[in-house]
Amino acid sequence: MSDQTEAPAKPRSSVGRVLMGILIFQLGLGGLLVVGDMQGLRLPSFGPNVPRLTEPVRPGDQRRTFRPDRDRPTVQPARDPGELPDRLVLSRDSDAVYRLEGGIRAGDAERLIDLIEAADPTPETLIVQSQGGSVSDALALGRHIRAEGIKTQMLSGEYCYSACPYLLAAGISRDIHDDASVGVHQHYFGENTFLPAGFAVEDIQRGQAEVMTYLNDMGIDPLVMQHALSTPPNEIYVLLPEELEAYNFSPSDQ
């Protein structure tokens, strides 16, 4: 009985630690941005000799280099999509099941919302696969997917990286095959900025707050962001099936 009464306090403590970690990270990043503005420095990658996605992922060894035009997961897909398009494409798979594939670009949310609303029959399930892209478009499209009561799914050997997990999270239920690959990393804001560093840090803070609010609204544990924040944009942290369950991407009771 004592275990049951103490359990609710743990998530709040964990979230508090994550928020503190985010604050420390952003303060450090702000300092680096200021130095970079003054001296033209580029932020370094973290961790030496990070293997490519062609290397198997094991517990505790989950960070891989990631270039969308080059890197693919090691598992063999059930359906080889070839090169994914640069922008999201909606195509009918069967009945009310559709595929949503490709890079997420600025303006894709509005465009895909129109396509989903015009689709006949109305989509009930979206099979998602994407190398990622625009975070703001992924969040906007994800909120529409949730509002429409659409399920999301990932098939064996297919992947969902960077901003794509926000689309995956939007499903009213999420069916993720154990051999699917879901990965997160820091959001990429570009190597150069024409804004003062203080404005850049403010944008980062606002963006992280929006992402964490979105994840919470979708029923995903925001603690997943600890992996994203510690993984630079040119790498990807691949979530294991047990992590996807722990963070509620694939809850065992759905």
**Cα angle value 210/199/27 (rounded, 5°):** 75
- Locate the domains of the chain by residue range: 66-185+231-254
Looking at CATH, the fold of the domain delimited by 66-185+231-254 is given as 2-enoyl-CoA Hydratase; Chain A, domain 1 (3.90.226)
Query: Which token pair is 207?
Result: 């963006």
CA-CA-CA-CA dihedral for 129, 103, 61, 53, to nearest 10: 90
What backbone torsions phi and psi does residue 217 show, to the nearest 5 degrees?
A: -65, -30
Cis preceding linkage at 11, omega within 30? no
> pLDDT per position in the chain (254 positions), as tens?
444 444 444 444 555 566 556 555 555 555 544 444 444 444 444 445 788 888 888 999 999 998 877 776 655 555 666 678 999 999 999 999 999 999 999 999 999 999 999 999 999 999 999 999 999 999 999 999 999 999 999 999 899 999 999 999 999 999 999 989 999 999 855 444 444 555 556 777 788 889 999 999 999 999 999 999 999 989 999 999 999 999 999 976 65
What backbone torsions phi and psi does residue 234 show, to the nearest 5 degrees?
A: -90, 10
Q: 3-class DSSP state for residue 91?
A: strand
Contacts of residue 20, defined as CB under 8 A and 6 or more positions apart, other chains included, come to none
Contact between residue 191 and residue 42 where contact means Cβ atoms under 8 Å apart: yes
CA distance linking residue 185 with residue 131, whole number of Å: 12
Reported residue count of the chain is 254
